[in-house]
A = this chain, B = another copy of it.
């Protein structure tokens, strides 16, 4: 990474995560300017806080937040008083600069492209998705610890789906002493679950697998937990939906059946903003490294 040390970074908008990202970059020895924050934001003294998009014209790397905008063409900048228009930022960035953002919309990409900029989305990087599974899994464990009157030790946990989050969450639960069942569709996923010591069930037998569980973590964004399946849950079962929209639980039916349900979205930024910032930083440095090849 040494060759990037002379680069000038701008961190534009965002919440605690972006502040933390700016601080980490500065501590790593980069020159960092922050835009879209008021003066009292908790930046390291190493970070220069700018007030106007002018500053972007001298940057080598510009990092927009996740998501990039909060309303059309307005950068997501909750710590800045005035609206910061995205196009006014973009038009000042030099063509040769590297521009990054999280969850870039097609419209935003088009605007950037129209201005000759290739804006890259760090949320599309697989290593980011893998690393983000860790704060997501920790947040999922924290929720269960907060809500359950039993320990995870000796509890019975069901995980539906066995993608990244399931693969990180399951060994954590096992290490805490839970008895973990994984329900998935693919035989290869069930094989992975067996390898690490989980019980397994086919998704078509979900209702049966859901019986007797203390906690159920859903990671599949499709309606697995419809009314019929929900009827098999213990009244004391806690159902935590980690799936992105549209989620996997019929919330109305769950409410009617008296089942405690939590739909936990975007966990990393909420439970561990500093770690989330670190993950974004590592991902962006990887992307820079690959550009420079």
A130 in contact with B286 (CB, 8 Å): no
**Residue in B130, B191, B196, B286 whose CB lies within 8 Å of A195:** B130
Measured CA separation A128–B126 after assembly (Å): 25
Nearest Cβ distance between residue A122 and chain B, in whole angstroms? 12
A85, CB-defined interface residue at 8 Å: no
A78, CB-defined interface residue at 8 Å: no
**Residue in B127, B138, B148, B151 whose CB lies within 8 Å of A151:** B138
Interface SS, A side: helix
Which of A32-40, A95-103, A272-280 is the contact stretch?
A: A272-280
A223, CB-defined interface residue at 8 Å: no
- By a CB distance below 8 angstroms, the chain B residues around A172 are 175-176
Which of A62-70, A139-147, A243-251 is the contact stretch?
A: A139-147
- By a CB distance below 8 angstroms, the chain B residues around A145 are 138-139, 141-142, 145, 271
Q: Which of A170-210 contact B (CB under 8 A)?
A: 171-172, 175-177, 186-188, 190-192, 194-197
**Residue in B153, B188, B196 whose CB lies within 8 Å of A275:** B153
A126 nearest in chain B by CB position: B188
A54, CB-defined interface residue at 8 Å: no
Do A152 and B133 contact each other (CB < 8 Å), given the known contacts A127-B191, A188-B127, A286-B187? no
What number of copies of this chain does the assembly contain? Answer: 4
- By a CB distance below 8 angstroms, the chain B residues around A135 are 151, 153
A286 nearest in chain B by CB position: B187
- By a CB distance below 8 angstroms, the chain B residues around A52 are none
Nearest Cβ distance between residue A161 and chain B, in whole angstroms? 17
A275 in contact with B154 (CB, 8 Å): yes
A279 nearest in chain B by CB position: B191
A150 in contact with B274 (CB, 8 Å): yes
Measured CA separation A172–B273 after assembly (Å): 22
- By a CB distance below 8 angstroms, the chain B residues around A272 are 148-151
Q: Can you list 26 contacts pairing A with B, beta carbon distance less than 8 Å?
A: A16-B149, A20-B149, A125-B187, A126-B191, A127-B187, A127-B190, A130-B191, A131-B191, A138-B145, A138-B151, A138-B176, A142-B142, A145-B145, A145-B271, A149-B272, A149-B274, A150-B272, A150-B274, A150-B275, A151-B272, A153-B275, A171-B171, A171-B175, A177-B195, A177-B196, A177-B197
Apart from A16-B149, A134-B151, A138-B145, what 13 extra A-B contacts exist at CB < 8 Å? A20-B149, A125-B187, A126-B191, A130-B195, A134-B177, A138-B152, A138-B176, A149-B272, A149-B273, A150-B272, A150-B275, A153-B195, A171-B171
